[in-house]
Structure 1
Amino acid sequence: MTVAETLAAYYAAFNRQDAEGMLALLANDVVHEPSQGTARHGKQAFREFLAHMNRCYAEQVIDPVFLTGEDASRGAAEFMLDGRYLETDEGLPPATGQTYRLRVGAFFALENGLITRVSNHYNLADWTQQVQSA
């Protein structure tokens, strides 16, 4: 698969809430760098993160655009994220089923066709304002 095909498969699995499909595209030593918080290391940590996210949020990636490097070692995605806040996440406002829409940027490193780094970036203040005013 090309980098763009790998990223498209990753987000297709995300939209299905298919954690195992996402994990199949990751290297065992993957590093996940969230927009806020501490980096996670390894597939098991990523698996736990996905379970948490699927419990607290229902999200869909809308119209992703992929950018790739020439040597198949880097890629990026920009997209809109439509979501619903299902269960209160620690340290965040109470969940009451609020909906939100965010622009997200994600950066990837790949090696031997597998994702070795996922770095997500979004505006937490915008998200917070949306769920507090809903």
Structure 2
Amino acid sequence: MSIQIIQQYYDAFNAGDIAGMVACLSDDFVHDVNEGARRDGKKAFSEFCAHMSECYKEELTDVVVFCNTDGTRGAAEFVVNGTYLKTDGNLPEARGQSYRLPGGGFVSLKDGKITRVTTYYNLNDWIAQVS
């Protein structure tokens, strides 16, 4: 079940299905992004996803999901293929630039739901690609 819920989460991401992603999360979910602030709860995560959808169009390819034997922790490694649609805060100006970079997510699980996702990508690599 653990690998399946992680795969379901990333499948929903690729479908642009924020509600589908949220359906995979526990009520006490936390989201950590490298170079960013922690988001507590489904509402904060949904708002983050809506903002990201305005600024970026992304598809994850080469997704590989891992899970420990007791189903409490997992990870996914992938390639982020994206287009920078709208300038995001103090980041470089968006002009429809394409980017491709490796990324990953570390996941904690409880009772068949995701309780934490910590997302990693190389921000400096991304900035170099869109600058």
Question: Normalising by structure 1, what TM-score?
Answer: 0.96
Give 1:67 shift: 1.0
Please give the alpha-carbon distance, in whole angstroms, between the structure 2 residues aligned to 1:35 and 1:62.
20
Please give the alpha-carbon distance, in whole angstroms, between the structure 2 residues aligned to 1:8 and 1:44.
21
Matching of residues 104-123 of structure 1 within 5 Å = 104-123=103-122
Whether 1:128 and 2:101 are equivalent positions in the alignment is no
Please give the alpha-carbon distance, in whole angstroms, between the structure 2 residues aligned to 1:66 and 1:3.
10
Partner of 2:16: 17
Partner of 1:42: 41
* Consecutive unaligned residues in structure 2, runs of 5 or more: none
Q: What one-letter code is carried by the residue in structure 1 that aligns with 2:6?
A: L
Please give the alpha-carbon distance, in whole angstroms, between the structure 2 residues aligned to 1:16 and 1:87.
20
Give 1:7 shift: 1.2
Give the SS at the match of 1:70.
coil
Give the SS at the match of 2:11.
helix
Deviation >4 Å, runs of 4+? none
Please give the alpha-carbon distance, in whole angstroms, between the structure 1 residues aligned to 2:53 and 2:27.
21
Give 1:63 shift: 1.3
Partner of 2:80: 81
Q: What one-letter code is carried by the residue in structure 1 that aligns with 2:46?
A: R
Give 1:60 shift: 0.3
Please give the alpha-carbon distance, in whole angstroms, between the structure 2 residues aligned to 1:128 and 1:43.
28
Identity over aligned pairs, percent: 49
* Consecutive unaligned residues in structure 1, runs of 5 or more: none
Q: What one-letter code is carried by the residue in structure 2 that aligns with 1:111?
A: K
What are the Cα deviations for residues 52-111 of structure 1, in whole angstroms up to 9, with x where unaligned? 000100000101111101111100000001000000000100001000001002100010
Question: Normalising by structure 2, what TM-score?
Answer: 0.98
Please give the alpha-carbon distance, in whole angstroms, between the structure 1 residues aligned to 2:101 and 2:28.
29
Give 1:37 shift: 1.4
Please give the alpha-carbon distance, in whole angstroms, between the structure 2 residues aligned to 1:106 and 1:131.
22
Give the SS at the match of 1:61.
strand
